[in-house]
Chain A
Amino acid sequence: MSDIRNRKAGNDVARLSRRGFLKIGAAGLAAAALELAGYDLSPSQVAAALARRQEGALRVAWGGAPATLDPLFASADTEIAFLNAVYDYLIDTNNNSELVPRLATEWSVSEDGLTYTLQIAEGVTFHDGSALALDDILWTFERLRGEGPTADLYADITSIEAGEGNSIVFTLAQPNPDFLYNLTDNHAVILKQGAENIGNEFNGTGPFRLDEYVTDRAVFSANADYWGGAPGFGTLEFVYFDSVESAVNALEGGVVDVVLRMDNATYLNLSNSGSYSASAVPTSGHDVVRLRADQGPGADERVRQAFKLATDRQAIFDRIQFGFGAVGRDTPISPVFERYYTEETPLPARDPAAARQLLADAGYAEGLEMTLYTPNLPDRVALAQALAAQWEEAGIMITIEPQEEAVYYADNVWLEVDLAITPWGARPVPQIYLDLYLKSDAQWNEAHFSDEEVDQLIEVAGSSLDEEERVNAYHELQRILIERGPYIIPYFFAQFGVMANTVGGVEVHPFAGRTNFQQATVG
């Protein structure tokens, strides 16, 4: 139907001069106007979007399109947002990174911390009408535990079984206080047992059913039978643009209602304009500036200290984050992790002269020349330039080497060079960062930092069932990283969402792709 309408609108515009504009549909005129105004939309995108406005639709713009929709391999925001619409997770996280029920309505842990029992909601059906069975969950986790990116994450699970009533029981080989967070992992959406053609056909239990998926948009209709209550509006539409700029243009043109994920400057403009409801959510995502601790200048602790002393984190935060997010303290444990975060250990104030002296003591009296590698992303190149200017005052001369992301990561540049900037996305618990890049034997220990005390503390924080012990371990870790870690973490990012004033009930999630839309209201 909408296709026919599009074609008609197009024809009418083409015949404008001959037939007069009275006969032209409003959609056609508006589409032409929007197109002329340069909103980077295909005519069918404009017409479809305008048509849907009348139908109680929520239109969400993304600055990119999904590449893979197989839950095992999906990772980008657009991909996860798609999966989060058609499927359900067992457990969700909210915008404060707290656990909230989804398919699992409640859960309990045994005293030894090895057995987790999750109560599964009753009356859940897949979009094809079949009921959700515990076997579907077992099958999904078999798939997640097999070969693939999630195999490591779930390696400690010794068994998953159906429990009493409608419950499911996970048994672990060793205690893991963050296990429930592992269940919230982006890949862990529940599929139907024996599902085929995964990533192309989407038979989920989620709040939205897929109606249409083409390269530039995905259209979902509300799942009237959703076990958690049907969404309050008819259609959810994801519109995929080439860039955030185009997505923002579409928002300003009234063609979409919501834009998630954007750069700091764009958000500042939109929130200043006063025409939208804008929210900035603090996250744990951060940029790591790290020296290699096992070779080169960074092997000397005095050099690490000199870099720290030469850095003005507040100035960087003000210039590059525009005050959104939080100032960093050289550790991945961000203020959003509330009780785990501490400011007990003071960060020494910036002192380029002292830094110069430390460098001289370390044998670099004539100054130190280094190359700073960074993925070629605007914010990181900006960070590199800010650092280079600050470090220069301490006699550290930097050559900036921006590299295409594909080269930076695929050729393992980031794991090898002496000085680099690496962005890390938001995670719901601090332990993930420690396991991924801080532990001596971590897969992505890009600084090649190896410190027995740190390893022990990470072990305690990741396995102790005594919450106080964990808190102490995290606090102690922060002290060590400030004192001798090879890292500078100047800031934590904020996640941004900007919406038309007619939209309500959408809470921007620190990981934009996990933002839930089923509670949304469309004015």
Chain B
Amino acid sequence: MFKQLSRAPGRIARPVWVGLAGAGGVLRELMRSPQSALGTLIVLFFLMLALFGPQIAPYRANDQSSAPRLEPGGEHLFGTDYLGRDVFSRVILGASSIFRTAGFGTLIAVVIGTFVGLFIGYQGGTVDEIAGRVIDALLAMPALLIALVILGIVRNLNFEPGSWQARLADNSVLLVIALVYVPIVARVVRSSTLEIKTREFIEAAQMRGESRLYIIFREIFPSVVPALVVEASLRFSYAIFLVASLGFLGVAARPPSPDWGLMVNENRGGLYDLTPWALEYPAAAIALLVVGVNLMSDGIRRAVQKSG
């Protein structure tokens, strides 16, 4: 009923409800197509591993009590690596680190990017002009390159272990993900804002004398949510890829963390011929999760378009 109201032209909508009512529709829509249903299931599967990994995994991540280089099968479903660590357990335990880094990184980027995008989009004028150029400049640089430079520098600073700088440095990957995605999210939100702020209900609010903050967050923000959801899911899939790449390049996770990218890196070269399974399973996990998130975000986009 609210949905119909919001569609009615010329009416003053209460768009907060649109977002909430839309969420149920989006989920239903998501499960309707087989591809996006599959993607969603894959993501949920890995999310479950991330949440309950320690309960599921038969071994601890750095347990080296088994014989090294055992082929997959029997007690070690995915075999053991050169140090005698259970690959199956490491793949399961690796899910949490990728969800934490990519997930929280994306979340931070979405929150900050939304604020920035809403503000500069609504403000317009010189502020928009200057911020727009800064965003353009940041977008011109490849995300991986920025991430590598920052992490390369941070990793080689020697902070006192346990100090706040060291703790910050330990979470630098998360912050880097946020940093490289803020401009992208901000740009998407800004362009939606530009379009929405010309609508009549905004004009009405302005005429009612509502404050700028009220207009931005109560009137504009809810209308931006559909575009934001699509963008966030897309960012999440790119973030997974970025985290895995950074892990592979040795700047994201610290050994002996069961980070998938790190595992791929550690077991390539001569070790790949000896224990191919120690590389192939984590690589497959990365591929599967990226495909899953992509299918899901495709579905989200379609669903949002339909219900929006």
From 175 to 192 in chain B, residues with beta carbon under 8 angstroms from any chain A beta carbon are: none
- Do A319 and B270 form a contact, CB below 8 Å, given A389-B62, A389-B63? no
- The answer to whether A399 touches B161, judged by C-beta atoms less than 8 angstroms apart, is yes
Kindly state the separation between the CA atoms of A267 and B270 in the bound complex, as whole angstroms.
8
- Do A386 and B255 form a contact, CB below 8 Å, given A268-B270, A413-B158? no
- Do A385 and B83 form a contact, CB below 8 Å, given A269-B270, A319-B68, A371-B161? yes
- Do A385 and B255 form a contact, CB below 8 Å, given A265-B82, A404-B156? yes
- The answer to whether A388 touches B62, judged by C-beta atoms less than 8 angstroms apart, is yes
Kindly state the separation between the CA atoms of A181 and B250 in the bound complex, as whole angstroms.
40
Separation in Å of the B86 CB from the closest CB of chain A? 12
- The answer to whether B270 touches A400, judged by C-beta atoms less than 8 angstroms apart, is no
Kindly state the separation between the CA atoms of A161 and B79 in the bound complex, as whole angstroms.
66
* A38 within 8 A of partner (CB): no
Kindly state the separation between the CA atoms of A244 and B269 in the bound complex, as whole angstroms.
9
Separation in Å of the B280 CB from the closest CB of chain A? 16
- Do A407 and B156 form a contact, CB below 8 Å, given A371-B161, A382-B82, A400-B256? yes
- The answer to whether B62 touches A266, judged by C-beta atoms less than 8 angstroms apart, is no
Separation in Å of the A61 CB from the closest CB of chain B? 15
* B25 within 8 A of partner (CB): no
- The answer to whether B269 touches A386, judged by C-beta atoms less than 8 angstroms apart, is no
Separation in Å of the B224 CB from the closest CB of chain A? 42
* A318 within 8 A of partner (CB): yes
Complex interface: chain A residues within 8 A of B269 (CB): 244-245, 263, 265-266, 378
* A41 within 8 A of partner (CB): no
Complex interface: chain A residues within 8 A of B83 (CB): 319-320, 382, 385-386, 389
- The answer to whether A399 touches B158, judged by C-beta atoms less than 8 angstroms apart, is no
- The answer to whether B255 touches A381, judged by C-beta atoms less than 8 angstroms apart, is yes
- The answer to whether A376 touches B250, judged by C-beta atoms less than 8 angstroms apart, is yes
* A232 within 8 A of partner (CB): no
Complex interface: chain B residues within 8 A of A267 (CB): 270
- The answer to whether A265 touches B256, judged by C-beta atoms less than 8 angstroms apart, is no
Is chain A's interface secondary structure helix, strand, loop, or mixed overall? helix
From 101 to 119 in chain A, residues with beta carbon under 8 angstroms from any chain B beta carbon are: none
From 79 to 100 in chain B, residues with beta carbon under 8 angstroms from any chain A beta carbon are: 82-84
Complex interface: chain A residues within 8 A of B63 (CB): 389
**Which residue on chain B has the smallest CB distance to residue A265?**
B270
Complex interface: chain B residues within 8 A of A245 (CB): 269-270
Complex interface: chain A residues within 8 A of B273 (CB): 265-266, 269
Kindly state the separation between the CA atoms of A320 and B266 in the bound complex, as whole angstroms.
12
Complex interface: chain B residues within 8 A of A390 (CB): 64
Kindly state the separation between the CA atoms of A267 and B269 in the bound complex, as whole angstroms.
11
Complex interface: chain A residues within 8 A of B156 (CB): 403-404, 407
Kindly state the separation between the CA atoms of A320 and B155 in the bound complex, as whole angstroms.
25
Q: Mark B115-137, 1 if CB is under 8 A from A, else 0.
A: 00000000000000000000000
- The answer to whether B274 touches A269, judged by C-beta atoms less than 8 angstroms apart, is yes
Question: Number of residues in A with C-beta < 8 Å to the partner?
Answer: 37
- The answer to whether B256 touches A388, judged by C-beta atoms less than 8 angstroms apart, is yes
From 265 to 297 in chain B, residues with beta carbon under 8 angstroms from any chain A beta carbon are: 266, 269-271, 273-274
* A342 within 8 A of partner (CB): no
Complex interface: chain A residues within 8 A of B255 (CB): 381, 384-385, 400, 402
* B212 within 8 A of partner (CB): no
Complex interface: chain B residues within 8 A of A413 (CB): 158
- Do A400 and B64 form a contact, CB below 8 Å, given A371-B161, A382-B82? no
Which of A320, A386, A399 is in CB contact (< 8 Å) with B254? A399
Complex interface: chain A residues within 8 A of B158 (CB): 411, 413
From 233 to 264 in chain A, residues with beta carbon under 8 angstroms from any chain B beta carbon are: 244-245, 248, 262-264
Separation in Å of the A405 CB from the closest CB of chain B? 11
Complex interface: chain B residues within 8 A of A152 (CB): none
* A211 within 8 A of partner (CB): no
- The answer to whether B254 touches A378, judged by C-beta atoms less than 8 angstroms apart, is no
Kindly state the separation between the CA atoms of A44 and B205 in the bound complex, as whole angstroms.
72
Kindly state the separation between the CA atoms of A388 and B255 in the bound complex, as whole angstroms.
10
Complex interface: chain B residues within 8 A of A294 (CB): none
Separation in Å of the B9 CB from the closest CB of chain A? 61
Q: Mark A346-373, 1 if CB is under 8 A from B, else 0.
A: 0000000000000000000000010100
Kindly state the separation between the CA atoms of A371 and B63 in the bound complex, as whole angstroms.
19
- Do A319 and B254 form a contact, CB below 8 Å, given A265-B269, A265-B274, A404-B156? no
Chosen A-B contacts, 13 in total, with CB atoms closer than 8 Å, are A245-B269, A263-B269, A265-B270, A319-B82, A319-B83, A319-B84, A371-B161, A382-B266, A386-B83, A388-B256, A389-B64, A390-B64, A403-B156
Interface positions of B (Cβ within 8 A of A)? 62-64, 68, 82-84, 155-156, 158, 161, 250, 254-256, 266, 269-271, 273-274
Additional pairs, 19, CB under 8 Å, beyond known A382-B82, A385-B256, A390-B64: A264-B270, A265-B270, A266-B270, A268-B270, A315-B64, A319-B68, A320-B83, A376-B250, A378-B269, A381-B255, A381-B266, A384-B255, A386-B83, A388-B62, A389-B63, A400-B255, A402-B254, A407-B156, A411-B158
Q: Lowest 4 A-B CB distances belong to which pairs? A: A265-B270, A266-B270, A385-B256, A269-B273
